[in-house]
């Protein structure tokens, strides 16, 4: 019943890039590809490993697969491991699909007899009955991957390690693969996989781990980990404050000037990115150079193709703002339910004089931006709060 | 979920890749599959296919035969009976040794795709190389036997020594191959070095001439070379029963321990070296 899968405590891996000169001492750099990762994975668990390129995911997987040796720490695997970490390993492009299936099955650890017995099943799953005697080099990449996947799932391993494979084939075959994963999951197999596909992580994994520069940043519930990953990815690149010089332009000449604008979370922290659905706040800081009665503060949010998604002003939703004295500063906060779909959004704040005429005193186009991320991409612009209800009619009668 | 004590068989603590691994059946299945695929692929797509593998040593043999019988006249002093058969057999045995060792040099690099993506005993790779060469040798021996019978040799019981000699040659070749393949990972210079060393070994060993060509006092030392000893015994057992056996030439059966010791010593050294390097092969490639 229980065949726990553990790889606890301190696991180091060093890649030595050696510059070798004959008969001279060698020089090398040390890259700590996996640094002190400590995790225990239970039997039957679906475990996802995510991280940016070069974060050590594949190295970790290779260590677990017994392809690389570890430098320090301990690594323990209970149960038979699948020998492959990638699909199509050992495929020979000059041989026919028939030969390749047999060879691949033997590499997986099947005997010749078992491979022959399962041959039809493998081909049927891959839906490649008509292309059996075609050489693999004439296969499309999708067909090759289908064949590889079909062989790979025949493995009798208790622990499967998979590097980037979920996005294989067309939609129909992908569904078959997902079903197959569910079947493996039900059968109590332990599966570890590396991917960049956050929806796969959220869909299949019981737990996930986020790696960055070889270190384990986070470990836990997949949705939270996927969110951390997105933050890591976008947080670094999008932190945009408009250049200082532009902020300072003509500040003195205007009656009133927008000094700064930003997005923040409900905790008041400035953020460059946020997860879809998390409440959010747009803020603008305004400095008054002269007295002003009931100015109107406006906010416009546009998406990355420039379409206005949402616009409002204090005149519409707040009412009179009161009087401000010269030298005074004010921060205007706009709390909004974040129904935005994943994209980059730009904020354009504006200030206008009271009255009906749109008499803008200051407006700053796209002064700051916010990336909304999520594991799912629906193609929509907003994600309206919604619930489903199915109202069935009475049972129909055959016509 | 009840926690049951794990089956000790399936707990692997030492998790690094190994040279041989625990599952001998899988080891053999893999070696055989790699070797037979390679063997099939060698002449795949060429019009004459397998014929090429026969023609290569035969053509090489023809050239050397013409040069050494018509120009250097090596067979006359002292005379060598059935010189053509002796030389062809010698060349075919040598081809086996050369093919195994020179392919072994870069075999790990050639299998990088597998080594980096799959967990399997590393020794499979050089062993499959030797097995491929052995298939080739088996095919070539059909030609050798035919040639021998056409040349007027009658089959004798002592021909059964041939498989033993082949096994000795194979042990030497695999041992050398293991050392070369590991060295190549560290020093890429091994490829040209071995190409030259193999040439020296070829002309230094009695393959196109017989051990009787060596100057009198030197022959005992020369026979310490395992290839010399194997070929000399091959002449005695296969080509000409009146030729001296390796034991006679080296001066007593007990001295055969030296070439045999070298064969098994090289193999043991190779095995030790390969076993030591195995865990790091994939990452050092």
Give the residue from A197, A126, A155 showing the smallest Cα distance to A65.
A155
In a domain, A44, yes or no: yes
Longest CA–CA separation in chain B, Å: 85
Residues A103 and A145 in one domain: yes
Residues A73 and A154 in one domain: yes
Residues A290 and A251 in one domain: yes
Most B CBs within 10 A among A22, A67, A76, A152, hence the mutation to make, goes to A67
**In terms of CA atoms, which chain B residue is nearest residue A19?**
B186
A275 strand-pairing partners: A373
Which of A235, A252, A286 is a domain's end point? A235
Compute CA distances A269 → A265, A266, A374, whole Å. Answer: 6, 7, 20
Which of A182, A210, A235 is a domain's end point? A235
Task: Tell me if chain B has a CB within 8 Å of the CB of A31.
Answer: no
In a domain, A297, yes or no: yes
Range of the domain at A171: 5-235
Where do the domains of chain B lie? Answer: 25-278
Residues A86 and A139 in one domain: yes
- B173 φ, ψ (degrees, to nearest 5): -65, -45
Residues 6+ apart with CB under 8 A from B47: none
A77 strand-pairing partners: B12
CB neighbour class for A198 (10 Å; exposed up to 12, middle 13-18, buried from 19)? buried
In a domain, A386, yes or no: no
Whether the CB-CB separation of B87 and B65 falls below 8 Å is answered with yes
In a domain, A380, yes or no: no
Give the residue from B107, B105, B95 showing the smallest Cα distance to B137.
B95
Interchain proximity B114–A89, CB inside 8 Å: yes
Interchain proximity B26–A67, CB inside 8 Å: no
Residues A292 and A195 in one domain: no
In a domain, A393, yes or no: no
In a domain, A389, yes or no: no
Lowest-pLDDT choice from A1-10, A71-80, A163-172, A201-210: A1-10
DSSP reduced 3-state for A188: coil
Whether the CB-CB separation of A362 and A351 falls below 8 Å is answered with yes
Query: How many domains in chain A?
Result: 2
A:B CB pairs within 8 Å: 108
Task: For chain B, count helices (H), then strands (E).
Answer: 13, 1
Task: Rounding to the nearest 10 degrees, give the CA dihedral for residues A340, A345, A349, A354.
Answer: -40
Provide mean pLDDT across the span A74-92.
80
Q: Is the pLDDT of residue A340 over 80?
A: yes
Interchain proximity A84–B118, CB inside 8 Å: yes
Residues A174 and A111 in one domain: yes
A299 strand-pairing partners: A312, A349
Interchain proximity A90–B187, CB inside 8 Å: no
Compute CA distances A61 → A75, A101, A195, A210, A340, whole Å. Answer: 12, 25, 11, 13, 36
Residues A303 and A350 in one domain: yes
Separation between Cα atoms, residue A308 and residue A304, nearest integer Å: 10
Q: Using CB atoms, pick whichever of A75, A95, A107 lies closest to residue B30.
A: A107
Q: For tokens 């004798």, what's the residue?
A: B156
Question: What's the pTM value of the predicted model, to 2 decimals?
Answer: 0.72
In a domain, A383, yes or no: no
What order of strands is seen across the sheet that includes strand A256-265? A256-265, A280-288, A329-336
What CATH number does residue A21 fall under? 3.40.50.300
Which of A211, A235, A259 is a domain's end point? A235
Separation between Cα atoms, residue B133 and residue B136, nearest integer Å: 5
Residues A260 and A183 in one domain: no
Separation between Cα atoms, residue A137 and residue B271, nearest integer Å: 37
Interchain proximity B118–A83, CB inside 8 Å: yes
Residues A140 and A265 in one domain: no
DSSP reduced 3-state for A41: strand
In a domain, A378, yes or no: no
Q: Return the axis-axis angle of helices B190-204 and B83-105, rounded to nearest 10°.
A: 160
Which residues from chain A sit within 8 angstroms of residue B188, using beta carbons? Answer: 20
Interchain proximity B283–A111, CB inside 8 Å: no
Rounded to the nearest angstrom, the minimum Cα separation between A258 and chain B is: 56
Whether the CB-CB separation of A261 and A366 falls below 8 Å is answered with no
Q: What angle do CA A173, A188, A166 make, to 5 degrees?
A: 25
Q: Is the pLDDT of residue A22 over 80?
A: no
Residues A105 and A146 in one domain: yes
- Each of the 285 residues of chain B gets a pLDDT tens digit; together they read 333 344 444 444 556 778 887 778 888 988 999 998 888 887 776 767 777 777 887 888 888 888 888 888 776 777 888 888 999 999 999 999 999 999 999 999 999 888 888 888 999 999 999 999 999 899 888 888 988 999 888 888 999 999 999 999 999 999 999 999 999 988 888 999 999 999 999 999 999 888 888 887 888 889 999 999 999 999 999 998 888 899 888 888 899 999 999 999 999 999 999 999 988 888 777
Q: Cis ω on the peptide bond leading into residue B264 (within 30° of 0)?
A: no
Separation between Cα atoms, residue B134 and residue B137, nearest integer Å: 5
Residues A174 and A280 in one domain: no
Ordered DSSP codes for A200-219: HHHHH-SEEEEEETTEEEEE
Residues A152 and A279 in one domain: no
Separation between Cα atoms, residue A147 and residue A95, nearest integer Å: 13
Q: Using CB atoms, pick whichever of A70, A78, A81 lies closest to residue B119.
A: A81
Task: Tell me if chain B has a CB within 8 Å of the CB of A69.
Answer: yes
Rounded to the nearest angstrom, the minimum Cα separation between B29 and chain A is: 7
**Mean pLDDT for chain A overall:** 78
Interface of B with A (CB under 8 A): 1-4, 6-7, 10-13, 15-17, 23, 25-26, 29-30, 33, 37, 41, 44-45, 113-120, 186-189, 279-280, 282-284
Task: Tell me if chain B has a CB within 8 Å of the CB of A107.
Answer: yes
What CATH number does residue A264 fall under? 2.70.50.60
Whether the CB-CB separation of B117 and A67 falls below 8 Å is answered with yes
What is the Cα Rg of chain A in Å?
Answer: 29
A234 pLDDT tier (thresholds 50, 70, 90): low
Please give the DSSP secondary-structure letter assigned to residue A46: E
Rounded to the nearest angstrom, the minimum Cα separation between B114 and chain A is: 6
Sign of CA dihedral B29, B32, B36, B39: positive
Digit-coded pLDDT (tens) for A287-305 = 888 888 888 898 988 887 7
DSSP reduced 3-state for A212: strand
């Amino acid at each position: 019943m229980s065949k726990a899968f553990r790889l606890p405590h301190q696991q180091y891996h060093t890649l030595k890039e050696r510059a070798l000169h004959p008969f001279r001492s060698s020089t090398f750099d040390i890259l700590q590809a996996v640094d002190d990762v400590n995790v225990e994975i239970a039997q039957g668990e679906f475990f996802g490993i995510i991280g940016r390129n070069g974060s050590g995911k594949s190295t970790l997987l290779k260590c677990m697969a017994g392809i690389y040796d570890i430098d320090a720490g301990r690594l323990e695997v209970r149960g038979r491991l699948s020998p492959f970490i990638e699909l199509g390993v050992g495929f020979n492009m000059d041989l026919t699909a028939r030969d390749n299936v047999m060879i691949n099955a033997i590499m997986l650890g099947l005997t010749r007899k078992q491979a022959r017995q399962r041959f039809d099943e493998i081909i049927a799953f891959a839906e490649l009955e008509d292309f059996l005697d075609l050489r693999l080099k004439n296969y499309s990449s999708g067909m090759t991957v289908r064949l590889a996947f079909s062989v790979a799932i025949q493995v009798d391993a208790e622990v499967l390690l998979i590097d980037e494979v979920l996005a294989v084939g067309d939609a129909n075959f992908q569904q078959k693969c997902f079903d197959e994963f569910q079947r493996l999951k039900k059968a109590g197999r332990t599966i570890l996989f590396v991917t960049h596909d956050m929806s796969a992580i959220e869909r299949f994994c019981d737990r996930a781990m986020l790696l960055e520069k070889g270190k384990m940043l986070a470990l836990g519930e997949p949705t939270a980990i996927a969110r951390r990953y997105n933050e890591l990815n976008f947080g670094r690149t999008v932190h945009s404050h408009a250049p200082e010089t532009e902020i300072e332009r003509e500040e003195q000449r205007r009656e009133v000037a927008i000094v700064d604008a930003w997005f923040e979370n409900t905790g008041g922290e400035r953020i460059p990115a946020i997860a879809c659905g998390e409440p959010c706040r747009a803020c603008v800081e305004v400095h008054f150079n002269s007295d002003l009665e009931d100015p109107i503060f406006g906010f416009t949010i546009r998406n990355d193709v420039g379409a206005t998604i949402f616009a409002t002003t204090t005149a519409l939703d707040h009412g009179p703002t009161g009087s401000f004295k010269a030298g005074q500063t004010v921060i205007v906060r706009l709390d909004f339910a974040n129904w935005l779909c994943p994209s980059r959004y730009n904020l354009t704040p504006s200030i206008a004089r009271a009255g009906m005429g749109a008499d803008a005193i200051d407006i700053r186009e796209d002064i700051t931006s916010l990336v909304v991320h999520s594991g799912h991409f629906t193609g929509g612009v907003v994600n309206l709060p919604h619930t489903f209800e199915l109202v069935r009619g009475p049972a129909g009668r055959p016509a | 979920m009840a926690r049951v004590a794990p089956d000790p068989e399936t707990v692997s603590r030492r998790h690094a890749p190994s040279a041989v691994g625990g599952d001998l059946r899988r080891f053999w299945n893999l070696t055989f599959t790699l070797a037979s695929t390679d063997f099939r692929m060698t002449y795949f797509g060429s019009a004459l296919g397998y014929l090429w593998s026969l023609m290569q040593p035969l053509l090489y043999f023809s050239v050397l035969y013409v040069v050494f019988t018509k120009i250097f006249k090596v067979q006359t002093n002292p005379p060598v009976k059935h010189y053509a058969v002796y030389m062809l057999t010698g060349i075919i045995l040598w081809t086996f040794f050369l093919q195994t060792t020179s392919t072994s040099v870069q075999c790990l690099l050639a299998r990088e795709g597998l080594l980096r993506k799959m967990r399997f005993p590393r020794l499979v790779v050089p062993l499959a190389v030797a097995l491929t060469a052995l298939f080739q040798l088996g095919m070539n021996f059909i030609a050798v036997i035919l040639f021998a019978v056409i040349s007027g040799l009658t089959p004798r019981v002592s021909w059964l020594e041939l498989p033993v000699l082949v096994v000795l040659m194979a042990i030497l070749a695999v041992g050398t191959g293991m050392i070369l393949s590991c060295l190549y990972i560290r020093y890429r210079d091994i490829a040209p070095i071995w190409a030259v060393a193999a040439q020296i070994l070829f002309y230094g060993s009695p393959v196109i001439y017989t051990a009787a060509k060596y100057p009198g006092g030197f022959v005992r030392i020369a026979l310490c070379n395992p290839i010399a000893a194997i070929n000399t015994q091959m002449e005695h057992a296969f080509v000409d029963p009146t030729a001296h056996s390796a034991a006679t030439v080296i001066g007593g059966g007990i001295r055969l321990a030296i070439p045999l010791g070298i064969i098994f010593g090289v193999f043991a050294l190779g095995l030790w070296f390969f076993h030591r390097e195995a865990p790091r092969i994939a990452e050092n490639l």
